[in-house]
Amino acid sequence: MKPQILVVEDDEVTGDLLKFLLERDRFEVLWLKDGRQVLDCLENEVIADAILLDLMLPYISGLQLIPRIRSHDRWQKVPIVVITTDATEEHVVQALDAGADDYVTKPFRAEELMARLRRVLRYTKNV
């Protein structure tokens, strides 16, 4: 069974690129475009193996979503990799302190992003 990655990205170009890269690497992709859709997934018990999360989203920001994801029993250990244009130290620290497992800034290097995703997936399999 293919690992399922939840991509939370409102930008069409970036979302299409992430979907392509993930599917090429044999992941199944569920692409959401705003924070409300993430909350719907939490309530409907959709589960993913990892989350690629943009911070700047419509309705509910990624920074607001991280603690909500972590407070949900079935999602507590799902790795979250933040992928965003915001490289400020303050937001990196806030995201990691809120429960993100990694932080990647845009523009990202495709192979590095895939390696970071595979790393967090390996780590959660061993926990």
Q: Give the whole-angstrom CA distance, residue 81 versus residue 3.
A: 15
Token pair, residue 76, equals 């507590």
Give the Cα separation of 31 and 8 in Å (integer).
6
So what's the pLDDT on residue 84? 93
In the chain the first and final C-alpha atoms are separated, in Å, by 20
Give residue 89's pLDDT.
95
User: Which residue from 57, 70, 44, 45 is spatially nearest to 15, judged by alpha carbons?
Assistant: 57
Predicted confidence at residue 31, as pLDDT, reads 97
- Domain 4-122's class? alpha beta
Residue ranges of the chain with per-residue pLDDT less than 50: 127
Cα–Cα distance measured from residue 99 to residue 69, given in angstroms and rounded to the nearest whole number: 9
pLDDT of residue 127: 44
pLDDT of residue 71: 94
Hey, where are the domains in the chain?
4-122
